[in-house]
Every structure is written in structure tokens, then in C-alpha cells.
């Protein structure tokens, strides 16, 4: 969409439709179509996360400095070098942001699918303990959910981000100016 005006015109409205449909609807439809299994959950997750991720990447591509690409071509860089050294660094903030956003969406949809149609998982456990009015267990499962999210953020995303953005000069993204 960011590289082709025709694709942008055609797909823009479809991406907006994808964003407009509530994620719970994707979950219900996938459970009805594919059954009460993990495949339905995976398809619901992908369908729900795709529009938000595509908009972020699309806007990143539209916001690229094409003069840098032209400069790379003037210096006879190969296409792979232009992608690796010019395009990817410009898209990286959009990719990282969309990864984080998609992870949040994925967890929410996964929990929702487990809640309404599965017999295992965090969503199932939350529903089970809610049915027994056990606030302690609901909070315990929520805390476990949060701990897993923090582990993914600080053990996976932060190190990957630091490694991929170590070329940047200045203050790292997670520190505040004094």
C-alpha cells in the first residue's frame, strides 16, 4: 500500500473495515468456522492484529525519505543493501511499535477465544474462577498474565530493540532527558 497508489486506493477501505469490526466478532466467527481448537484462535488473532500492523507499516513506508533511497542508488548500492541500510532503519520504529501493539491485541484475542470457546488457557481459567466468584483466583490469573507480558517486553522486545537501534546516536528511547 505504501509503494503502490493503486494498491493504497483499493486496500485502504478494506483495512479500515478490518479495524472497524470488533475483535470479539473475529473470535466468534473463527470459532464457528474452524471449530473449538487452536487453529481458530490463531486465525482470529492474525485477523484481528493484521489491520493495525498494516496501517503502522503502511504509514512508515509513506513517511520514508525517498531521497536517501535515491542517494543509495546513486552510490550504486545493491537492492539488498538499500533495503538493509536505508529502508529498514527508517521502518524500524514502525515495525517495533506494531510488534508491541500486535502482542497486546494477540493476548486479548487469545484470552477472549479461550474465554468463549476453549477448555484451557488463561481465558478459560478467568471464566472458570469468575463463575465461582473467586476474586483471588481472577486476580492471580491476571497477575500471571501481566508477568508474562512484562517478561516478553523486557526479555525479548527491549533487547531486540536495543540491538537493532544501537546505530542511533543520542539518548536511547527509554531514558528521559534531564
Q: What is the pLDDT of residues 85-104, one digit of tens each?
A: 898 888 998 999 898 888 88
For the domain made up of 5-118, give the CATH fold.
Answer: MetI-like fold (1.10.3720)
Q: What is the pTM assigned to this prediction?
A: 0.73
Report CA-CA distances (Å) from 64 to 60, 67, 86, 94, 154: 6, 9, 9, 11, 28
120 burial class (0-12, 13-18, 19+ CB within 10 angstroms)? exposed
Residues of the chain with pLDDT under 70: 169-178
b/e sequence 54-77, b meaning 16+ C-beta within 10 Å: bbbbbebbeebeeeebeebeeeeb
Amino acid at each position: 500500500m505504501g509503494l503502490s497508489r493503486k494498491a493504497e486506493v483499493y486496500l485502504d477501505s478494506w483495512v479500515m473495515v478490518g479495524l472497524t469490526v470488533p475483535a470479539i466478532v473475529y473470535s466468534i466467527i473463527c470459532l464457528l468456522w474452524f471449530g473449538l481448537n487452536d487453529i481458530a484462535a490463531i486465525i482470529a488473532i492474525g485477523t484481528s492484529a493484521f489491520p493495525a500492523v498494516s496501517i503502522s507499516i503502511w504509514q512508515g513506508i509513506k513517511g520514508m525519505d525517498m531521497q536517501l533511497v535515491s542517494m543509495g542508488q546513486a552510490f550504486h548500492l545493491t537492492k539488498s543493501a538499500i533495503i538493509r541500510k536505508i529502508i529498514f532503519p527508517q521502518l524500524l520504529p514502525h515495525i517495533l511499535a506494531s510488534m508491541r501493539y500486535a502482542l497486546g491485541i494477540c493476548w486479548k484475542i487469545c484470552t477472549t477465544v479461550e474465554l468463549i470457546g476453549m477448555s484451557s488457557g488463561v481465558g478459560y481459567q478467568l471464566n472458570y474462577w469468575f463463575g465461582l466468584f473467586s476474586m483471588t483466583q481472577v486476580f492471580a490469573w491476571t497477575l500471571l498474565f501481566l508477568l508474562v507480558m512484562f517478561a516478553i517486553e523486557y526479555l525479548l522486545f527491549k533487547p531486540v530493540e536495543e540491538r537493532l537501534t544501537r546505530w542511533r546516536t543520542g539518548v536511547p528511547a527509554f531514558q528521559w532527558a534531564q
